[in-house]
Amino acid sequence: MKAAAATAADAPLEPPAAGPWWLRPAKLFDGTRLRGATALRIDAGWITAVVEAPQSIADGAPSVRSDCIACPAFVDLQVNGGGGVLLNNEPTPEALAAIAAAHRKGGTGAWLPTLITTTPEVMTRAVEAVLATHGQHGVAGMHIEGPHISPDYRGAHALEYIRPLDEHTWSLLRRLRARDIPVILTVAPERLPRGALADLVALGVRVSIGHSGATERQTRDALAAGASLFTHLFNGMPPLRTKSVGLAGVALDSAAWCGIIADGHHVADTMLRLAVRAKRGPGAVFAVTDAMPTVHGPPEFELYGATLRLHEGRLVDARGSLAGVHIDMIGTLRRLVRAVELPLETALTMVTSAPARAAGLEGQHGFLAVSAPADIVLLDPESLNIRHMLLRGAVSRAMPARPS
């Protein structure tokens, strides 16, 4: 069958309606490295072959060429809202669908709905929404951020809802894990009962240290008990100091994974660049949006009864204080490359395979390899704007106009 013509910058991507086909981008980031011309064979929404020398393809399946960089659809482990919807305010399956649609515009194919500190009733409803939606709309699990955190490092979390780890939370975690749904629980380890962290890990919960004032010793003890992540590095924790390493220093010196916000407001670009360079492996620094409803939504929303609004690119409260994050994953990628000055391969890793590995999602997300779903973002090689997005091999039509 005759191969399709090269894809122009303004032309639609038109895969065959049925049957296997080959995607032939100019470059491919497979989740590990940036490669030259490499072809992906896509059949029924899955990748069935990866060929380094596309000119050797001779199976008769049609080819679609593109001058773009192909990479895995982005993976975001911390999404509070988008498209005008906040999970805390609307803990329903319909809300999850709306948030997912908003973040697809930024290239996110897999994400963890994130519930911040709230009442037991809202927690129950949010968990039920995830139970009903898991596997749909890119919902890959759940991130419960609080309420078992430090009041002193709560950030925007409501003080009145912060409470000790209780049977209610345990019951919700058991329900999620009984369905084998990945769960990240952000906690302040210094506020947990003795042995509780190890019990959480034994249940299959990925414990993330955050909104915490834990000392160096307490942090290292939490890691020894099985904690494996840190939530939004440098935010919701004591500052990094030279004579008192504290939580942030241990995070960089540990083998755990560290989420970080790259909007230019929550962490200085220089500090972010230093963190990436300093991080000890095998865990790495990965990007999260920690996005709020203003992402691909209206410029204000309500949180705990207060109005938060966008002002000069920052999400602020009535006092003008920073009160949330307004960025999507493609914006994050561009900032990592342009403002933070990271190599493209490093930045792509931070928005795809690194978060997938941190959450245990690498079997389904974050990589382009044989047996992986054909969830693919095609990037303009110059602007790093999203040209096209494929979900299970089909073109997503929820793409925004390309930014200037």
Residue 342 within a domain: yes
**pLDDT value at position 59?**
81
For residue 310, report the phi and psi dihedrals to the nearest 5 degrees. Answer: -80, 135
**Residue 47, Ramachandran bin (φ over 0: left; ψ between -120 and 50: alpha; else beta):** beta
Question: Do residues 67 and 133 both lie within one domain?
Answer: no
Residue 112 contacts residue 157 (beta carbons within 8 Å): no
Q: Is the pLDDT of residue 43 over 90?
A: yes
CA-to-CA dists, residue 293 to 82, 126, 158, angstroms:
4, 16, 18
Question: Do residues 278 and 325 both lie within one domain?
Answer: yes
Question: Do residues 208 and 341 both lie within one domain?
Answer: yes
**pLDDT value at position 6?**
40
Residue 172 within a domain: yes
Per residue in 293-331, pLDDT (tens digit) is 999 999 999 999 999 999 988 999 988 888 899 999 999
Question: Do residues 391 and 335 both lie within one domain?
Answer: no
**pLDDT value at position 221?**
98
Per residue in 226-255, pLDDT (tens digit) is 999 999 999 999 998 888 889 999 999 999
Instruction: Please name every residue paired with 183 in a beta bridge, in sequence order, or none if there are none.
Output: 142
**pLDDT value at position 267?**
97
For residue 68, report the phi and psi dihedrals to the nearest 5 degrees. Answer: -95, 170
Question: Do residues 223 and 353 both lie within one domain?
Answer: yes
Q: Is the pLDDT of residue 292 over 70?
A: yes
Q: Is the pLDDT of residue 103 over 80?
A: yes
Instruction: Please name every residue paired with 258 in a beta bridge, in sequence order, or none if there are none.
Output: 230, 285
Residue 276 within a domain: yes
Which structure tokens are listed for 235?
């935010």
Which structure tokens are listed for 15?
């895969």
Whether 290 is a known active-site residue: answer: yes
Structural domain containing residue 65:
21-71+367-395
CB hemisphere CA count around 120 (13 angstroms): 10
> In CATH, what number is assigned to the domain containing residue 265?
3.20.20.140
Closest among 32, 40, 38 to 15, alpha carbons compared: 40
Please tell me the distance from the alpha carbon of residue 385 to that of residue 401, in angstroms, as a whole number: 10
| Other Cβ atoms closer than 10 A to 136 | 11
Which structure tokens are listed for 67?
């001058």
SS3 at position 292:
coil
Question: Do residues 34 and 125 both lie within one domain?
Answer: no
Give the count of domains, the chain.
Answer: 2
Residue 16 within a domain: no
Please tell me the distance from the alpha carbon of residue 103 to that of residue 81, in angstroms, as a whole number: 9
Helix (H) or strand (E) holding 71: strand 69-72
Question: Do residues 383 and 339 both lie within one domain?
Answer: no
**pLDDT value at position 256?**
98
Residue 6 within a domain: no
Residue 5 within a domain: no
Q: Is the pLDDT of residue 359 over 60?
A: yes
Residue 95 within a domain: yes
Please tell me the distance from the alpha carbon of residue 175 to that of residue 256, in angstroms, as a whole number: 26
> In CATH, what number is assigned to the domain containing residue 67?
2.30.40.10
**pLDDT value at position 54?**
65
**Mean pLDDT, the chain, integer:** 93
The residue whose two tokens read 């091999």 is 393
> Average pLDDT for residues 330-346, to the nearest whole number?
98
Residue 9 within a domain: no
Please tell me the distance from the alpha carbon of residue 187 to that of residue 189, in angstroms, as a whole number: 6
pLDDT band at 399 (very low <50, low <70, confident <90, very high): low
Question: Do residues 274 and 347 both lie within one domain?
Answer: yes
**pLDDT value at position 242?**
85
Question: Do residues 386 and 349 both lie within one domain?
Answer: no
| Other Cβ atoms closer than 10 A to 368 | 27
Please tell me the distance from the alpha carbon of residue 365 to that of residue 355, in angstroms, as a whole number: 9
Please tell me the distance from the alpha carbon of residue 299 to that of residue 316, in angstroms, as a whole number: 11
> Average pLDDT for residues 209-213, to the nearest whole number?
98
pLDDT band at 263 (very low <50, low <70, confident <90, very high): very high
Please tell me the distance from the alpha carbon of residue 188 to that of residue 238, in angstroms, as a whole number: 12
Question: Do residues 373 and 280 both lie within one domain?
Answer: no
Question: Do residues 282 and 380 both lie within one domain?
Answer: no
Active-site residue, from 30, 263, 290, 328: 290
CB hemisphere CA count around 258 (13 angstroms): 27
Question: Do residues 285 and 344 both lie within one domain?
Answer: yes
Please tell me the distance from the alpha carbon of residue 248 to that of residue 259, in angstroms, as a whole number: 12
